[in-house]
């Protein structure tokens, strides 16, 4: 069983083919339509597509570091980020001369908390870049209270958590900017792709400008730049720095079709995680599972297992056995990003001992819960795990009983 299966079918293939045959393939009307549809569905005022979730993270940090943003981030400023995260959650911080400050996560929800953030705040702290881990929302009520108290920017890395809600509000709509991914393995796909969400018109305008070379032609208020610079060809007025992070019209029409399928895809993911937990509920002495945040509606990205400390086998033992039975596994995100060798080359800070992030890295694994996993598939996976446990697990209670006997 694969970790991921395609969410696209003949509808997307037909839409993509039709768009290609039209010969209008570079970013245009279909991209804007997709952005508007996405924003409407998930409760955002504005959405700006780009070519990956990693690019969305890059654009978000670039915008908050840009002179067009009031009180923008400057080199040397500190950004609090969870240790349990992904590389391109962190790299844009470093790439802009900022200092990532790593904090630990909650052992049950796997998310950074307001308490972790408060402990990491210094006079140099300017922003929080949180991650909603594996479809599970952070406690945004508490985090936003801390952000407001200390006047901090908030970026929500929601790449694993599209459509998740905290207190009936979608992730990516609490902070200044949300970032999401349309990679093949995520909830819905444009094959490659990402999107930034914001409730600020100015931020949306500048995201569009930064996304495409720094020129003004994609801005809603592009006429003001034409009026300001009448001696420059209106098609090529560069008003800021920029990248080329655009998606295509072909990807946009695929995305439009995917939005229609989103609710059923997420429903199946939730159902599969519930099924795994039910089938393996007898092994509470062996596994810890990820717990949903209070008053949240997760959109699970995978089903996560953490081996308890008392088990007599290791992570590689069980994952190797599972994989030998044609079931793919993977680590939970990248584990503790601060332990990866790349960080030795760049300035960063650690606050706390990262006990929980280290435990998840050393003892955690994830299984697929996507829409193509059937009930029979869940049962097969559970039976493989049960077989391994039957053949390998010796409980501490059993050892004690044998010693007494």
Question: CA–CA separation, 178 vs 198, rounded Å?
Answer: 6
Q: Which tokens is 135 given?
A: 């479809």
Asked if 110 contacts 136 with a C-beta cutoff of 8 angstroms, the reply is yes
Is residue 296 within a helix (H) or strand (E), and if so which, with residue range?
strand 296-297
What is the full DSSP assignment across 251-279? HHHHHHHHHHHHHHHHHHHHHHHHHHHHH
Asked if 187 contacts 258 with a C-beta cutoff of 8 angstroms, the reply is no
What is the full DSSP assignment across 56-123? HHHHHHHHHTSTTSTT---TT-EEEEESBS-HHHHHHHHHTT-EEEEE---TTT-S--HHHHHHH--T
Active-site residue 348, yes or no?
no
Nearest to 108 by CA among 359, 386, 396: 359
SS3 category, 368 = coil
Question: Within 10 Å of residue 351's Cβ, how many Cβ atoms?
Answer: 17
Nearest to 212 by CA among 75, 62, 335: 62
Asked if 135 contacts 301 with a C-beta cutoff of 8 angstroms, the reply is yes
Whose tokens are 């694993």? That residue is 160
Q: 186, 187, 213, 370: which is the annotated catalytic residue?
A: 186
- Residues annotated catalytic, as ranges: 186
């Amino acid at each position: 069983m694969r970790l991921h299966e395609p969410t696209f079918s003949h509808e997307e293939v037909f839409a993509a083919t039709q768009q290609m045959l039209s010969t209008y393939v570079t970013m245009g009307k279909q991209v804007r339509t997709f952005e508007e549809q996405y924003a409407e569905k998930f409760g955002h005022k504005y959405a700006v597509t780009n070519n990956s979730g990693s690019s969305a993270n890059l654009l978000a940090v670039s915008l908050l570091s840009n002179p067009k943003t009031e009180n923008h981030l400057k080199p040397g400023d500190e950004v609090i980020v969870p240790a349990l995260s992904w590389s391109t959650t962190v790299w844009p911080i470093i790439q802009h001369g900022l200092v990532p400050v790593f904090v630990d996560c909650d052992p049950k929800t796997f998310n950074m908390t307001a308490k972790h953030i408060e402990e990491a705040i210094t006079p140099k702290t300017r922003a929080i870049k949180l991650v909603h881990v594996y479809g599970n929302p952070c406690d945004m009520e508490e985090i936003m209270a801390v952000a407001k108290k200390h006047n901090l920017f908030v970026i929500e890395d929601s790449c694993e958590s599209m459509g998740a809600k905290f207190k009936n509000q979608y992730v990516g709509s609490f902070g200044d900017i949300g970032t999401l991914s349309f990679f093949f393995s995520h909830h819905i796909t444009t094959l490659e792709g990402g999107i930034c969400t914001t409730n600020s018109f100015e931020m949306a305008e500048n995201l569009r400008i930064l996304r495409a070379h720094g020129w003004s032609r994609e801005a809603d208020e592009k006429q003001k730049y034409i009026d300001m610079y009448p001696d420059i060809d209106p098609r090529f007025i560069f008003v800021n720095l920029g990248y080329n992070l655009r998606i295509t019209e072909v990807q946009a029409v695929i995305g439009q079709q995917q939005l229609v399928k989103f609710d059923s895809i997420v429903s199946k993911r939730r159902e599969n995680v519930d099924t795994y937990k039910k089938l393996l509920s007898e092994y509470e002495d062996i596994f810890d599972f990820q717990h949903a945040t209070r008053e949240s509606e997760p959109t699970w990205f995978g089903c996560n297992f953490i081996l308890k400390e008392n088990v007599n086998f290791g992570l590689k033992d069980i994952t190797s056995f599972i994989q030998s039975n044609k079931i793919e596994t993977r680590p939970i995100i990248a584990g503790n990003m601060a332990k990866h060798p790349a960080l030795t080359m760049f300035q960063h800070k650690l606050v706390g001992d990262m006990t929980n992030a280290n435990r998840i890295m050393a003892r955690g694994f994830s299984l697929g819960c996507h829409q193509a996993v059937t009930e029979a598939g869940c049962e097969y996976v559970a039976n493989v795990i049960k077989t391994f446990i039957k053949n390998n697990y010796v409980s501490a209670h059993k050892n004690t009983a044998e010693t007494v006997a």
